Amino acid sequence: GAGVSQSPSNKVTEKGKDVELRCDPISGHTALYWYRQSLGQGLEFLIYFQGNSAPDKSGLPSDRFSAERTGGSVSTLTIQRTQQEDSAVYLCASSFSPGLVYEQYFGPGTRLTVT
Amino acid sequence: AQSVTQLGSHVSVSEGALVLLRCNYSSSVPPYLFWYVQYPNQGLQLLLKYTSAATLVKGINGFEAEFKKSETSFHLTKPSAHMSDAAEYFCAVSDRGTSYGKLTFGQGTILTVHP
């Protein structure tokens, strides 16, 4: 069946511009996670959604970062006024239910380059 | 806070040789432990996980890992490397007190397999 999909696969933007990254989780998966993979920081947790709510936003690096999830499905991560340090691969993962019994399935990521 | 250390950012082995990738965690309470693999331009795939059952965990593609509480380690092994094992491997932990599976990752180890 279809896995987690993310779009765009690559995004190049100028410093100061806003960007939106999209995640389509596996159908029926209620839990959704965003992670960031960068050379300097490795893989970091950003935010967790259960349904449309985000009980844990503790990994968002600044108030320029926000995310939403609608219909318990698609999620969008928005970065406002992008900075060069935002350059990274943004990974989305989903699981059938929160908790560690269920595997997190990862998408291929969006590679963001801020010039 | 949980942390994970992967010893060796690069490991190189010959095809057919033993693969050993090292992971140590820091926590007074043993967390849940995971190994993920990432092939180029792909998302992460779960290899195996430890959630307090048997200390020797078998995963996909012939990999296994042993949880050693006394050493706070969860090293990944494979008896005989294949060319197709070349990838980046991540060790990750999740706090038992976190109900929704938030993952903290190590810095990753790139495995090279040469003929």
pLDDT tens digits, A49-87: 999 999 999 999 999 999 999 998 999 999 999 999 999
Reply yes or no on whether the pLDDT at B15 is more than 70.
Answer: yes
Report whether B64 contacts B71 (CB < 8 A).
Answer: no
CA distance A108 to chain B (A): 4
pLDDT score for A80:
98
Burial class (CB in 10 A: 0-12, 13-18, 19+), B86: middle
Contact state of A43 with B99 under an 8 Å Cβ cutoff = no
pLDDT score for B22:
98
- Matching residue, tokens 């995971």: B34
Reply yes or no on whether the pLDDT at A23 is more than 90.
Answer: yes
CA dihedral B40, B4, B94, A6 (to 10 degrees): -20
Residues of chain B with Cβ-Cβ distance to A100 below 8 Å are 32, 49, 51, 94, 101
- Matching residue, tokens 């950012």: B9
The pLDDT of B83-95, averaged and rounded, is 94
Contact state of B44 with A45 under an 8 Å Cβ cutoff = no
pLDDT score for A1:
56
Close Cβ partners of A58 (under 8 Å, ≥ 6 residues apart)? A45
What is the count of residue pairs from A and B with beta carbons less than 8 Å apart? Answer: 61
A34-43 pLDDT tens trace:
999 998 788 9
A85 touches chain B (CB under 8 A): no
Contact state of B108 with A42 under an 8 Å Cβ cutoff = yes
| Chain centroid, CA B108 distance in Å | 9
CA distance B39 to chain A (A): 10
- Going by their DSSP bridges, the two strands B87-94 and B32-38 should be labelled as antiparallel
In DSSP terms, B14 is beta-bridged to B114
Mutate to test the interface with B, among A43, A47, A49, A58 (most CBs of B within 10 A): A43
pLDDT score for A8:
97
